[in-house]
Amino acid sequence: MDMELVQQAIPFLLKGAQVTLIIGLFGVLIGLPLGIFVGLVRLSRHRQTAACFSAFSAFFRGTPLLVQLFIIYYGFGQLGFVRNNPLLWWVVGSSLHCAILAVVLNTIAYTSEIFRGAFQSIPIGMVEAAQACGMSWWVALFRVRFPLALRQALPAYGNEVAIVIKESSLASTITVLEITGYAKRLMSETFAIIEIFVIASVFYLVINLLAMLLVRQVEKYLSGGLRTGRKIHI
Amino acid sequence: MTDVWRFLFEQRWALSLLKGSAVTLGLGLLGMCLGLIIALPLAIIRWRKVRVVGRLVLGYTMVVRSIPGLLIIYLIFFGSVQAVDSIGEFFGFQAAVRSAYPFLMGMLAIGIISSAYSVEVLRGALQTIPEGLIEASKSLAMPRSAIYLRIVLPLMLRNALPGLNNVWQMTIKDTSLVSVVGLGELMRTAALAAGISRSPLVFYLIAGAVFLLITWVSQRLFAVCERHLNRGFLEAR
Amino acid sequence: MKKTLLAFVCGTALIATAVNAAEDTLTVGTEGDAPPYSMADVNGAVTGYDADIANAVCSEMKVKCRFVVQSFSTLIPSLNADRFDVIVSGLGITEARKKQIDYSIPYGGVPQYYVVAKDSPIASVGSIAEIEKMLDGKTIGVVNGTTYANYVQKHLPNSEVKTYDATTQMLADLEAGRIDSAYSDSPTWTDFIKTPGGARFTRVKVAVRQADDPTVLGYGMGIGIRKGNTALQSKVDTALCSLSKKGELTTISKKWFDEDYAIACKQ
């Protein structure tokens, strides 16, 4: 390995790591609550609303993120009314905003799927018991259904967080300079493909490792009384 | 809109989008198969808890699953991978290897990515096989190969199918990443058409629709397979 | 299953021998996505300035050209991976790239321009230094892996440089108004300004020429050849030289650019 080159590359990749983290943070902070919400709506008795949100989820899970990014960035960027509307242009006009939007929509679709499954797996007796105690729908949701679903969903959600970090790399295709964007630029300038690849990969590994550890800590905390030999698939 | 129509049919971009879809499908299928071929022995190593090697396999799957696919594709395409050429030379069809170079590289990248996920799915499926079944077949003096071929693999396949469905969905979508290095699959064709016709929205929407169609049809096929493999088990549950 | 696999392998081998039979071909790596240099059509045929140059060189060498279309930034690594014999893709000859590949003699050198909106005050400025001072701090588009990208990064250190995978993507972003300016060569702009979306734009008054910063911009466009392939290099050089003497390089340049950007052979 060429040490001089490594030294030259690391500051750039560190700058890129900040952008990767920003996209990842938005993905989790907006994606998680909205994903839970969409998951609940998809289970609701309003058939049409549920179907609408299911279609949304199916679209974003059935198409590659790259296609979604290009539709939002190049596709919507072509439309006159988007360009003339300041609010829409604030979103579509900046490549970083586009990347965040696409990643957030994508993770909402997947998170809603995870939580829909988790809510469905709650034994109906638990909910009935809550109702029998006189809990309202909201109280039952916050004190019984949501905590149970969260515990069920966390291992899968941990994977989803890692996926968000990884998928944020696609932002580089619409000129966002995150880790992969800088890596690509450095690769085509210095031709030191392997070296740059290894450093960039280490960055992703570290970020993902930290995210996984964090999710595991939350998981441990939540399953406090229940720590039997449950297997965790990560 | 009429412009797009003319572009699609008079300049025959519809045809090349169709060709691109075929490349996408082929790339996804072959990449998935390559991934499974790599994953099966690795999964058995993990399942049998082979010392040291098992740890190495775990490391491989962890690393590949934490790195973005795009980065892996850049490594394989930008890095002068002469390995493929030397393999081709060995078998005496270097020219064919050269003309199919982007496709082979794309297949390799997709195969590596999907293999890391397949290992975990297959290992999980193997672990659900009751040890008693294997002991029983050993006590019948079945040869090792027969135990694997007739007991382990069929049971594994049935348990692995839902997981493999997920891996397939991911793999077919990952093929779009190969477009950034210029392999003429669906997404690349759509990008070329979008650039030349200057109406990106339509062409990327078309690409999205084709992907939706592919994932939807394959979901259906997996459902049929699952029902087929589970026949005779449904009543027992 | 085994049989299908066998059939597949045999089939591949058959195709292989078929390809081997056509020995007298020169495989040419090109971008295919950069009008008017290199434009790939539906059937994979390539037209444009670079395609004409490549075809002329091939016919001079009495071989057939076969084009391989790939995005620009992957061309040099792929040449080294023996994916094709030569690169003809407006490839500037630079010192950095000479460490990776060898070059033919230069066959053309095009001036480069910044492009700005017609109503921008920069449009009427008459010196490069002044233009670059005004653009520094703005958002500028370039294509990843080009000498232009290096030039802009060096001369506009405070501006946000956006790098695209393809020229057409950069043009789309310029039209959409996401970038204040873009930097590329004269033919790209001549072509772009003629399109409906490009009518709002104009190139700045002064051109940047290779001689202004040869360490970054290089010495004109050359045909890229794998390192150490001297036999091919001398054949290509001879072909280019004879084309230059016949005036064909000028003809091709005038056909696509309306101007003569050919560089005369010094041999």
- Alpha-carbon dihedral sign for residues B79, B84, B89, B95: negative
Model confidence at B84: pLDDT above 80: no
Percentage of the residues of chain C whose pLDDT score is greater than 70: 91
8 Å CB contact of C100 and A94: no
Model confidence at B22: pLDDT above 70: yes
DSSP string, A129-163: HHHHTT--HHHHIIIIIHHHHHHHHHHHHHHHHHH
pLDDT at B80: 52
Prediction ipTM score: 0.85
Give the class (CATH, top level) of C112-217.
alpha beta
pLDDT at B209: 95
8 Å CB contact of B78 and C77: yes
Mean pLDDT of B171-194: 87
8 Å CB contact of A189 and C76: no
Q: Max Cα separation, chain B?
A: 73
**Residue of A12, A186, A188 best to disrupt the C interface, most CBs of C under 10 A:** A188
Q: How far is CA A13 from CA A168, A169, A179, B219, C59, in A?
A: 14, 12, 5, 39, 47
Distance from CA of B184 to the nearest CA of C (A): 9
In this complex, is the C-beta atom of C178 within 8 Å of any C-beta atom belonging to chain A?
yes
CA A36 distance to own-chain centroid:
12
Model confidence at B93: pLDDT above 70: no
Mean pLDDT of A168-179: 93
DSSP string, B154-199: HHHHHHHHHHHHHHHHHHHHHGGGGGGGT--SHHHHHHHHHHHHT-
By Cβ distance, the residue of A64, A167, A187 closest to B74 is: A187
Task: Pick A155 or B237 by higher pLDDT.
Answer: A155
Percentage of the residues of chain C whose pLDDT score is greater than 90: 51
Confidence of residue C7 (pLDDT cuts 50, 70, 90): very low
Distance from CA of B60 to the nearest CA of A (A): 12
Mean pLDDT of B41-61: 91
Using a CB-CB cut-off of 8 Å, the residues of chain B touching A166 are 66-69
Model confidence at C58: pLDDT above 50: yes
By Cβ distance, the residue of C141, C172, C178 closest to A93 is: C178
pLDDT at A49: 94
- Just give the CATH number of B2-229: 1.10.3720.10
Q: Residue B23: which of B156, B172, B147 has the closest Cα?
A: B172
Distance CA B31, CA B20 (A): 16
Mean pLDDT of A207-212: 90
Confidence of residue B195 (pLDDT cuts 50, 70, 90): confident
8 Å CB contact of A184 and C177: no
Q: Is C66 left (phi over 0), alpha (psi -120 to 50) or beta?
A: beta
**Residue of C99, C101, C144, C167 best to disrupt the A interface, most CBs of A under 10 A:** C144
8 Å CB contact of A75 and B120: no
pLDDT at A226: 58
pLDDT at B77: 77
Nearest CA in chain B to A212: B66
8 Å CB contact of A94 and C164: no
Using a CB-CB cut-off of 8 Å, the residues of chain B touching A59 are 208, 212
pLDDT at C95: 83
Residue C121: cis peptide before it, omega within 30 degrees of 0: no
- Per-residue pLDDT of A3-32, as tens digits, reads 788 888 899 999 999 999 999 999 999 999
Domain ranges (residues) in chain C: 24-108+220-257, 112-217
DSSP string, A32-49: HHHHHHHHHHHTSS-HHH
Distance CA A28, CA A107 (A): 8
Distance CA B66, CA A162 (A): 7
Distance CA C224, CA C244 (A): 18
In this complex, is the C-beta atom of C71 within 8 Å of any C-beta atom belonging to chain A?
no
pLDDT at B229: 83
Model confidence at A234: pLDDT above 60: no
pLDDT at B98: 59
Residue C164 phi/psi, 5-degree rounding, is: -110, 155
pLDDT at C69: 84
Confidence of residue C10 (pLDDT cuts 50, 70, 90): very low
DSSP letter assigned to residue C262: B
Q: Which two tokens stand for residue C126?
A: 């008459």
- List of residues 6+ apart from C262 with CB closer than 8 A: C107, C108, C244, C249, C250, C252, C253
Using a CB-CB cut-off of 8 Å, the residues of chain A touching C141 are 175
Using a CB-CB cut-off of 8 Å, the residues of chain C touching B98 are 27, 82-84
Residue in the structure block whose two tokens are 């539709």: A71
pLDDT at A195: 84
Distance CA C40, CA B36 (A): 35
In this complex, is the C-beta atom of B170 within 8 Å of any C-beta atom belonging to chain A?
no
- Per-residue pLDDT of C91-147, as tens digits, reads 989 888 888 899 999 999 889 999 999 999 999 888 999 999 999 999 999 998 888
In this complex, is the C-beta atom of A97 within 8 Å of any C-beta atom belonging to chain C?
no
Mean pLDDT of B125-130: 90
Nearest CA in chain B to C170: B195
Nearest CA in chain C to A188: C145
Task: Pick B103 or C180 by higher pLDDT.
Answer: C180
pLDDT at C56: 95
8 Å CB contact of A62 and B212: yes
Q: Residue B181: which of B72, B66, B30, B25 has the closest Cα?
A: B72
pLDDT at B87: 55
pLDDT at A212: 85
8 Å CB contact of B173 and A183: no
pLDDT at C33: 78
Distance CA C256, CA C38 (A): 11
Distance CA B75, CA A138 (A): 51
The chain-wide mean pLDDT, for chain C, equals: 86
- Contact of A184 with A47, CB cutoff 8 Å: no
Enumerate domains of chain A plus CATH numbers. Answer: 3-224 (1.10.3720.10)
8 Å CB contact of C176 and A93: yes
Q: Residue B46: which of B162, B156, B169 has the closest Cα?
A: B156
pLDDT at C59: 93
By Cβ distance, the residue of C33, C69, C74 closest to B195 is: C33
8 Å CB contact of B82 and C13: no
Distance from CA of C79 to the nearest CA of B (A): 9
8 Å CB contact of A183 and B71: yes
Helix or strand holding residue C39 (H, E): strand C38-40
CB pairs under 8 A between B and C: 82
Mean pLDDT of A51-63: 94
- Contact of A17 with A89, CB cutoff 8 Å: no
Residues 164 to 193 of A: which have CB under 8 A from any C CB? Answer: 173, 175, 181, 184-185, 187-189, 191, 193
CATH topology (fold) of C24-108+220-257: D-Maltodextrin-Binding Protein; domain 2 (3.40.190)
CA A84 distance to own-chain centroid:
30
Task: Let me know if the fold of C24-108+220-257 is the same as that of C112-217.
Answer: yes
